Amino acid sequence: MSAHINHVVVVLQQVSLEEVPAKKLRLTKPSKSAALHIDLCKATSPTDALQYLLSFARRPVEAESVEGVVRILLEHYYKESDNSVRLKIASLLGLLSKTQGFAPDCIVDDAINTLNNEKSHQVLAQLLGTLLIIGTQLPDKIAVVQRLIDVACKHLSSTYFGVRNKCLQLLGCLGTVDKPLSKETDAGPGAQTSHVRDVQSVISDYFQDQDPRVRTAAIKAMLQLHERGMKIQQTIYNQACKLLSDDYEQVRSAAVQMVWVLSQLYPESIVPIPSSNEEIRLVDDSFGKICHMVSDGSWVVRVQAAKLLGSMHQVSPHFLEQTLDKKLMSDLRRKRTAHERAKELYASGEFSSGRRWADDAPKEKVDTSGVNLIDSGACGAFVHGLEDEMYEVRISAVEALCSLAQSSPSFAEKCLDFLVDMFNDEIEEVRLQSIHVLRQISTHITLREDQLDTVLAVLEDSSRDIREALHELLCYTNVSTKDCIQLALVELLKNLTKYPTDRNSVWKCLKFLGARHPTLVLPIVPELLSTHPYFDTPEPDMDDPAYIAVLVLVFNAAKSCPTMPALFSDHTFRHYAYLRDSLSHLVPHLRLPGRKQTASSGLEASGVGSGSLESAQNFLQDSLVRVSALQNLETPGAQDLLEFTIRDLLRLGELQTELAGSADFCATYLHCQLLLTKWLSFDDLEFLYSGLETQQIATIHNVRLQAKALQLILTARSKPGVDRVLGACEKFLQDVESFQRLFMTELPHFQDSFVEKLLELMPRLTTCKPLDLVKILQTTLRQSGFIHLKLPEQIHRASATIIEPTGESDNPLKFTTGLVVALDIDATLEHVQDPQTSVKVQVLYPDGQSHIIHPKPGDFRTPGPGRVRLITQVYLSHSAWTEACQIEVRLLLAYSSSSSKQSASKPAWNESMDGLPTSESCIEGTIHLSKPVKVFIMPKPARR
Amino acid sequence: MPDIKVTPLGAGQDVGRSCILVSIGGKNIMLDCGMHMGYNDDRRFPDFSYITQNGRLTEFLDCVIISHFHLDHCGALPYMSEMVGYDGPIYMTHPTKAICPILLEDFRKITVDKKGETNFFTSQMIKDCMKKVVPLNLHQTVQVDEELEIKAYYAGHVLGAAMVQIKVGSESVVYTGDYNMTPDRHLGAAWIDKCRPDLLISESTYATTIRDSKRCRERDFLKKVHETVERGGKVLIPVFALGRAQELCILLETFWERMNLKAPIYFSTGLTEKANHYYKLFITWTNQKIRKTFVQRNMFEFKHIKAFDRSYADNPGPMVVFATPGMLHAGQSLLIFKKWAGNEKNMVIMPGYCVQGTVGHKILNGQKKLEMEGRATLDVKLQVEYMSFSAHADAKGIMQLIRMAEPRNMLLVHGEAKKMEFLKDKIEQEFSISCYMPANGETTSIVTNPSVPVDISLNLLKREMALGGPLPDAKRPRTMHGTLIMKDNSLRLVSPEQALKELGLSEHQLRFTCRVQLHDPHSDNDTLGRIYTHLKSHSVNASPYGPI
């Protein structure tokens, strides 16, 4: 009986096994094509058929059934008399042959055959398009490709532009140079010449086609050949140049590209100048021609020409400098440009002497025959481009200027005036771009006073981006005289009073300005510090940002100018000590003569006092060595030592910004260790620091495991009950396994550690009961040694500072309950990886409500490497309060680790986390990235 | 040979009073109808009696086209249409149509109410005149009648300024009006396609000038204004109410905003508010920046610029005043100028062109003492600055436009003869096309070579195509056989067979024979055979009709 039943089961299984695939096949292949077949047969009018085809095209077809479908479509194709239906079928063939996993070899013949009987031009064009798709699917099948090329050549003489277009496209995508197209071309009625021709000459025939679309297609096909790595012949150059004056913008646009490609291919070949006997390099010639296109009638062409100019680095300097050339005249008299005038004024030392009467009066009479009103070649191309109507053109011109100036210092010097002029453009994007560009080429240039004047005028711009870009630019700028320094300082201070939020940026700017020009700062130091040879001057207010700004400039200049401190007055030294302490990132260490350091902290006493980076590093090393001497944390005094070391390290980090990351990391690690020994757990080391090596990560994980073990023990002890512990145990074991998986290679470094022991015991652990496991853990924990941290090389701590709101305001932000108020947040992020996804803003209300806001990706700006600026708005809302109260705003760093992945559900935008305990404001999967800032708000009840 | 005749009634080798008559393909068109700023007598308006001694102009003119709203281009319009008499269509763009009557009314008020002239057009006449206006859109082809069509292009000179293409059959003329090839703070640059007209009539105000970049100009202007205001001086900027005024307003407004300046800026006349309203409306005619930002803020809604009252002129402290008219020849600008001329702290900035004879022209030429009405003299102590802000194309701009349009002939108007001479030479030299510069009342005729359209029968065309060579040489002329039928003012080219059929004629064959005498010693048959083989070897086609 049982045997019988078994048999039945087996049979059933077999049936189900067989049926599943069989069913699949029957369902797909026949049904799809058959349904189509039936539909098409049913269709009484072309409109119906078209409808069927359209709905058919919407569904995907499996690779194995494509061929069947194609056959059916072809069958109908031959029967169909309506052009539109045939067209649709042709386009479907193309679509189908693109299906993944389908090799279209088998339908090549059919597709080519259809071409022979086709009368409608549109359908022909579509069929050729299909062939193009098939051809691109089969690039390796030379025979197929060759056939397709033959077909294309045959149809090139069609009267319909679409057909010619497609043929050219086909030639461009599939044509090869190696194989001449001799025997096939004479088959077509168009080509009676039967000598050997290659693809390029066939295509270039169509550069003179009567239809602009075909001309465009021909150039594009040629560019396609180039992209496929084929060397374009130089003979095409002349033809391409002729097309630059075509009537149609698409042709001109493609021709510009073609000329550019040729100029990159044959930069050094020599071409004759028409109407003269001279000859010039091809790259110069084409440069002139493309420059000419910068004043084209169509802005699309202008943008393209301007962009391409930027990449022509091989052009001779003579031609390059012509692009900025302009000659003015007024009533036939030569006039100097404003740039020339400014330069002369400067040279004659008369700058800022006020106005001069009629200094732009026209000078000498111009010889009428000598005036060239039509710019030939490169003349004035950038002058035109920078004054263009469309800002797209202007931006491209600015970018091109930049890239050319970077490779040619003399050109950089010349284009300076023009770039500075662009600072007054009406479109902010252009202004911003030109400031950035000037920064990029700033290594090549020195600003003249009048130029600096124009540059500094932009400091009053109301756009923060512009101002900051300008500060950035000033950081890298070389200026020529001490007056320039003074001018810059005055303007920056003006900027500071007008926009106090720019404080940090201005200080930083002055830091670099001072460090760059110590000799220029030196003569104006007494003036800057308002010292007097005989009289004591009143001591300035130390909290005045403007005074701090001046000091930053002076101290940074003094760093490489040892004579400067002699000019300081007493209070300056005191202020130095204060600033060196409070703004250590802005104020460098100075060797002050004859003055003992007012050593305040134990740190400086212990050797870092001399302040150089080297000694700081030594100190760091020493501290770690000292700590590593600890064998056991139970030792009396060990904890004290740890605490002191942590304090020292933190302080060191503050003083030596270069080492801040390393010092901070060590300190936090030690802190964790300390806490661990204090039976507490804490871990976010891994995600806050970037640049960690695997070994260090493993070390952190080791500590984490220890902490978890502790937690487990704690749970087991405090909450008796096997189920809970069981779950916890399993989780713990998983963690251990994943550790093993992740850090296999690092294990040799973990001699005598908790993990090592744990892994030894692993086979036992997995089998034993939870309570036993807890016991084992307890003993291992006791025995395990303290792992010493190796000094990490390159560690950056991810950090953020909220610049705005400052948290100092006493005026509450009032708004009506139920409505929202927008709070502007401005923060700088440092060393945060992928800030767009990981940085969130947390708003914590006094009642414990907490909101997490995801800033838009566009709110993150990157002013420099490693630094990100977050300028965003968060929306606050709350029910009515009786009085104003403070909310906390801070930034969070979201992370996802192996352990938290499962638990941390991704918080939705503005998701509120009600009912969390007030003290516990940290949300799982995030780390506090910045200090919280308090904002006073006051939701008022709505008036009824 | 057909030709195009051009006669300037005004603006021929002169600036002001633009009025150009064009006859093309049997149509007569008047381009612009302006007045002259420098005259107060009959010379102020074009001499319409040139067209017809007495009687209305309607039957002589097919249409009138106004390029833009400046009075030297439209000031004589009501006079011509209402007082001389013209009832045909007047074409102008939408902004011109909106703003033109405001300016005409202002002009009328100054002339009639202030100067007490009589025999001048009335408000009602302006209204009647505007009723005859047909508005144009950019790039819209308007059929004036069956043969004459016109099309407007963007000219950039002032809001709504247009260049006009006039086309009859295959002959065409482009009239630029005033145009500007460099974009500015509120307008874009002039643009035209490669329309290859037979004649391009271009203005040539700055024929001998190549200007510096507009950015330098703007910076200079702002610097001068800023310095004067900081010194506590007053700045007078005489402008025409519309056009450059808005440009400078935008410039100063943005500058004031950027620099946070407090000195008041005034705009003198009430008509500006009305006109500014139109500037706010016709955003599509402005430049890229204004078009893109008007959703956030319309640039023509000024924050710092307030309306001027006459009493403000005596207020102490710095101020900037825009006053009309622009050449200091009359009106408020002249009044304020008289008040401020004595103080060297003050400044007058002339932002545009000044016609000879105006106060503006005199002070720009450095005259320090001016004679006023009633033998009073005025000492000019204030600083006089000239900033070319007028939006005319400079020599390079004109050349650029010629390159864009590729005309076959060139005609220069709206400029001074001497300067035109230079540009004319340059154009002839660079483009090798003929260039003309007629004086007022002088007629220039340009011979055209219009193509004659012929209908060709499709069958014939296909047959010839089948015979012909490869396609790509489509631009080369090709000979073909056919019959040209001229019937009822239409031309057709058909195959000979069809022509015969249509005309009901039968085919006739002509046979040419000739007799040749041979003296040959051989027998007849032998000779015949030899000739036959000889001919055959030379492959001379034996006539199918004739036996040898």
d(CA A663, CA A795): 9
Residue-wise pLDDT tens digits, B514-543 = 888 877 777 888 888 888 888 777 655 544
**Is residue B21 within 8 Å of residue B4, measured between CB atoms?**
no
Question: B218 and chain A: CB distance < 8 Å anywhere?
Answer: yes
* Confidence at residue A154, expressed as pLDDT on a 0 to 100 scale: 84
* Confidence at residue B271, expressed as pLDDT on a 0 to 100 scale: 64
pLDDT band at B155 (very low <50, low <70, confident <90, very high): very high
* Confidence at residue A18, expressed as pLDDT on a 0 to 100 scale: 41
Nearest to B189 among A205, A247, A389 (CB): A389
**Better-scored residue on pLDDT, A796 or A587:** A587
User: Token pair for residue A498?
Assistant: 């007008």
Probe site for chain A from B154, B192, B216 (most A CB atoms < 10 A): B216
**Is residue A332 within 8 Å of residue B422, measured between CB atoms?**
yes
- Count Cβ atoms below 10 Å from residue B40 Cβ, excluding itself: 13
User: Token pair for residue A246?
Assistant: 């075509």
**What is the DSSP track for A718-778?**
HS--HHHHHHHHHHHHHHHHHHHHHTGGGGGGGTTSHHHHHHHHHHHHHHS-HHHHHHHHH
Mean pLDDT of chain B: 86
User: Which of A427-431, A796-800, B3-7 holds the top average pLDDT?
Assistant: B3-7
**Better-scored residue on pLDDT, B410 or A142:** B410
**What is the DSSP track for A379-431?**
TTHHHHHHT-SSHHHHHHHHHHHHHHHHH-HHHHHHHHHHHHHHTT-SSHHHH
**Is residue A185 within 8 Å of residue A197, measured between CB atoms?**
yes
B125 to chain A, closest Cα gap in Å: 40
Q: Is B434 helix (H, G, I), strand (E, B) or coil?
A: strand
Residue-wise pLDDT tens digits, A494-529 = 888 888 888 888 998 999 988 888 888 888 888 888
Across B445-451, average pLDDT: 88
Please tell me the least confidently modeled range out of A245-254, A739-748, A850-859, B406-415.
A739-748
d(CA B435, CA B425): 8
Residue-wise pLDDT tens digits, A331-357 = 666 666 767 766 666 665 544 333 344
* Confidence at residue A188, expressed as pLDDT on a 0 to 100 scale: 38
Residue in chain B lying closest to A358 (CA): B385
Question: B338 and chain A: CB distance < 8 Å anywhere?
Answer: no
A890 to chain B, closest Cα gap in Å: 32
* Confidence at residue A174, expressed as pLDDT on a 0 to 100 scale: 84
Residues 6+ apart with CB under 8 A from A299: A388, A389, A390, A392, A393
Residue-wise pLDDT tens digits, B253-271 = 888 887 778 889 998 766 6
d(CA A382, CA A310): 11
Q: Which residue has the tokens 């000219």?
A: B155
Inter-chain touch B183–A387, beta carbons under 8 Å: yes
A161 to chain B, closest Cα gap in Å: 11
* Confidence at residue A12, expressed as pLDDT on a 0 to 100 scale: 40
**How many CA atoms lie less than 13 Å away from B158 in the CB half-sphere?**
28
Nearest in space to B29 (alpha carbons), one of B38, B19, B37 = B19
Please tell me the least confidently modeled range out of A174-188, B252-266, B351-365, B444-458.
A174-188
* Confidence at residue A375, expressed as pLDDT on a 0 to 100 scale: 57
B416 to chain A, closest Cα gap in Å: 11
- Assess: ipTM above 0.95: no
pLDDT band at A720 (very low <50, low <70, confident <90, very high): low
Question: B467 and chain A: CB distance < 8 Å anywhere?
Answer: no
Percent pLDDT > 70 in chain A is 76
Nearest to B258 among A247, A454, A461 (CB): A461
**Is residue A428 within 8 Å of residue A463, measured between CB atoms?**
yes
Beta bridge partners of B65: B31, B91
Residues 379-418 of B with CB under 8 A from A: 395-396, 399-400, 403-404
Angle CA A292–A298–A300, to nearest 5? 95
Inter-chain touch A208–B227, beta carbons under 8 Å: no
Inter-chain touch A373–B258, beta carbons under 8 Å: no
- Chain A residues lying within 8 Å of B472, measured CB to CB: 190, 205-206, 208-210
**Residue A303 above 90 pLDDT?**
yes
Please tell me the least confidently modeled range out of A2-11, A289-298, B80-89.
A2-11
Which phi and psi angles does A887 have, rounded to 5°?
-110, 160
The single residue of B82, B171, B203, B385 carrying the catalytic annotation is: B203
Nearest in space to B470 (alpha carbons), one of A236, A128, A198, A154 = A154
- Count Cβ atoms below 10 Å from residue A1 Cβ, excluding itself: 5
Probe site for chain B from A340, A426, A495 (most B CB atoms < 10 A): A426
* Confidence at residue A923, expressed as pLDDT on a 0 to 100 scale: 59
- Chain A residues lying within 8 Å of B185, measured CB to CB: 426
Residues 501-540 of B with CB under 8 A from A: none
* Confidence at residue B496, expressed as pLDDT on a 0 to 100 scale: 86
User: Token pair for residue B435?
Assistant: 């260039």
Percent pLDDT > 70 in chain B is 95
**Residue A608 above 60 pLDDT?**
no
Residue-wise pLDDT tens digits, A842-893 = 888 888 888 888 888 888 877 666 678 888 888 888 888 888 888 888 888 8
Inter-chain touch B216–A421, beta carbons under 8 Å: yes
**How many CA atoms lie less than 13 Å away from B120 in the CB half-sphere?**
20
Probe site for chain A from B396, B410, B423, B425 (most A CB atoms < 10 A): B396
- Chain A residues lying within 8 Å of B208, measured CB to CB: 329-332
Q: Is A103 helix (H, G, I), strand (E, B) or coil?
A: coil
Please tell me the least confidently modeled range out of A293-307, A666-680, B422-436.
A666-680
Question: B371 and chain A: CB distance < 8 Å anywhere?
Answer: no
Residue-wise pLDDT tens digits, B386-418 = 877 778 888 888 998 998 999 999 999 998 898
pLDDT band at A277 (very low <50, low <70, confident <90, very high): confident
Q: The whole model's pTM is what?
A: 0.74
Probe site for chain B from A167, A323, A373 (most B CB atoms < 10 A): A373
- Chain A residues lying within 8 Å of B217, measured CB to CB: 338
A262 to chain B, closest Cα gap in Å: 24
Residue in chain A lying closest to B211 (CA): A328
- Chain B residues lying within 8 Å of A426, measured CB to CB: 185, 254, 289
Inter-chain touch A462–B220, beta carbons under 8 Å: no
**Residue A448 above 70 pLDDT?**
yes
Inter-chain touch B216–A371, beta carbons under 8 Å: no
Residue in chain A lying closest to B228 (CA): A355
The answer to whether residue B421 is catalytic is: no
**How many CA atoms lie less than 13 Å away from A786 in the CB half-sphere?**
21
**Residue A224 above 70 pLDDT?**
yes
* Confidence at residue B140, expressed as pLDDT on a 0 to 100 scale: 93
User: Token pair for residue A729?
Assistant: 């145990």
Q: What region, left, alpha or beta, does residue A799 occupy, with left being phi > 0 and alpha being psi -120 to 50 degrees? A: beta
User: Token pair for residue A616?
Assistant: 């700081």
d(CA A245, CA A251): 9
- Chain A residues lying within 8 Å of B404, measured CB to CB: 297
**Better-scored residue on pLDDT, B306 or B68:** B68
Nearest in space to B178 (alpha carbons), one of B158, B151, B207 = B158
d(CA A303, CA A289): 15
d(CA A215, CA A212): 5
- Chain A residues lying within 8 Å of B183, measured CB to CB: 387-389
Residue-wise pLDDT tens digits, A367-426 = 666 666 655 666 788 888 888 888 999 999 999 999 999 888 888 888 888 888 888 888
